[in-house]
Amino acid sequence: MPIKIPDDLPARKTLVQEGVMVLKETDAIRQDIRPMRIALLNLMPNKIRTETQFARLIGATPLQVEMTLIRMTEHKSRNTPASHLAAFYRTFRDVKESGEKFDGLIVTGAPVELLPFEEVDYWEELREVFDWTQSHVHTTMCICWGAQAALHHFYGVPKHALPRKAFGVFRHRNLKPASPYLRGFSDDFSIPVSRWTEVRPMDLPDDAGLEILMESDETGLCLIEDQDKRMLYMFNHIEYDTTSLAEEYWRDVERGIDIQIPANYFPNDDPHATPENRWRSHAHLLFGNWINEMYQTTPFEIDKIGIITNARPGSGMTREQAAQAADADKA
């Protein structure tokens, strides 16, 4: 089944050219099915590029998915036209006041890693977002700085500055092959990394039930499951396009930033060569598994999200089993 996005969203043309099935809004209305409602809180500067990356991944599942684009209310984007934001985005304040609920939410990274959390101009509103997910979102995936921010908000976990940027494509290990999120994953796989800070295992609270699913010997933690908060924390950029790291490298070079060539990325470390994508299949696997787990456990009636919470993602309990458990609790 296809992904439902606005007819005029720039990502539509790219996805159609790539063979992703995209559903017109007018056709979606005629289908007698409740789509999975997934929101994207886009904190990245190049919002159009980021929309396309995530739409590509959530649009490749057998389910109909409706994507809602959200931005921070007061923060002013300097890299995306105001007309684009006005046409396709809703502010978090508007979404919160509407009382809407979502099966899934993705919180992206943001280029503010070296700032203390409290100095980010939308920090207080982002904390509202995290608290709001607990009653209005069934399952949330936070990416890179977004993952660090969520862990800091819920558990006080600090981030640590690295001596130099973790930058390149690095080998990772599958620590929990039985996890529903890693279904079909290889034991060893590559993921793009691009960050100036890290979260360390020794800072994770012992009593929070946080489970490390992916890790790299070179760049540390990659993916953590938080079953209690119904969250996944992904510290790296598995959603990146083939050329994303190259564009970041040349952008920094042009700005005069002392940046190393991304590791294990360009053939023969030649930044003029075309890189090869070695993570695409695992990106689709991760998001497909996330959406499948979401579909299996989210309440059929979307307004019951936050009420029927027995069927937590990763628990192995279906929506029907959760509803029966909820009825038993009432009795």
Domain residue limits, the chain:
3-241+278-330, 242-276
Rounded CA-CA distance 288/221 in Å is 21
Residue 319, Cβ neighbours under 10 Å: how many? 18
Torsion on CA atoms 141, 145, 147, 149, rounded to nearest 10: -120
Instruction: Compute the distance between CA of residue 172 and CA of residue 309 in angstroms, rounded to an integer.
Output: 32
Q: According to the model, what pLDDT value does residue 28 have?
A: 47
Tokens linked to 10: 């720039």
Helix (H/G/I), strand (E/B), else coil: 28: helix
Q: Is residue 148 predicted with pLDDT exceeding 70?
A: yes
C-alpha–C-alpha distance, residues 91 and 59, integer Å: 23
Average pLDDT over residues 175-198: 96
239 is catalytic: yes
pLDDT in tens, 62-114: 788 999 999 999 888 887 888 999 999 999 999 999 999 999 999 999 999 99
Indicate the SS3 state at residue 121.
coil
Whether 144 sits among the annotated catalytic residues: the reply is yes
Which of 237, 248, 282, 293 is labelled catalytic?
237
For residue 91, give Cα distances in angstroms to 117, 136, 153, 258, 263. Answer: 21, 16, 21, 36, 37
Distances in whole angstroms, Cα of residue 302 to Cα of each of 36, 93, 102, 137, 240: 9, 20, 7, 10, 30
Query: What pTM was estimated for this model as a whole?
Result: 0.86
In the set 66, 239, 248, 293, the catalytic residue is 239
Please tell me the predicted confidence (pLDDT) of residue 1.
Answer: 45
Question: Structurally, what CATH architecture does the domain formed by 3-241+278-330 represent?
Answer: 3-Layer(aba) Sandwich (3.40)
Identify the band that residue 5 occupies on the pLDDT scale cut at 50, 70 and 90.
Answer: low
Q: Which of 136, 142, 144, 152 is catalytic?
A: 144
Burial tier of 150 (Cβ tally within 10 Å: 0-12, 13-18, 19+): buried
Place of tokens 């930044």: 271
Q: How confident is the model over 256-267, as pLDDT tens digits? A: 999 999 999 999
Evaluate if residue 315 carries a pLDDT over 70. Answer: no
- Asked if 326 and 310 count as a contact pair (C-beta separation under 8 A), the reply is yes
Contacts of residue 143, Cβ cutoff 8 Å, sequence gap at least 6: 106, 107, 108, 109, 234, 237, 239
Q: Which residue has the higher pLDDT, 6 or 192?
A: 192
What's the burial of 169, exposed, middle or buried (CB within 10 Å: 0-12/13-18/19+)?
buried
Residue 276: helix, strand or coil by DSSP? coil
Residue 144 has pLDDT above 70, yes or no: yes
For CA atoms 306, 2, 293, 321, the dihedral sign is positive
Instruction: Verify whether residue 152 is a known catalytic residue.
Output: no
Q: Which residues of 30-42 are buried (b: 16+ CB within 10 A; e: fewer)?
A: eeeeebbbbbbbb
Return the C-alpha torsion angle 43, 44, 45, 48, nearest 10. -110
Q: Would you state the pLDDT for residue 66?
A: 93
Q: Is the pLDDT of residue 27 over 60?
A: no
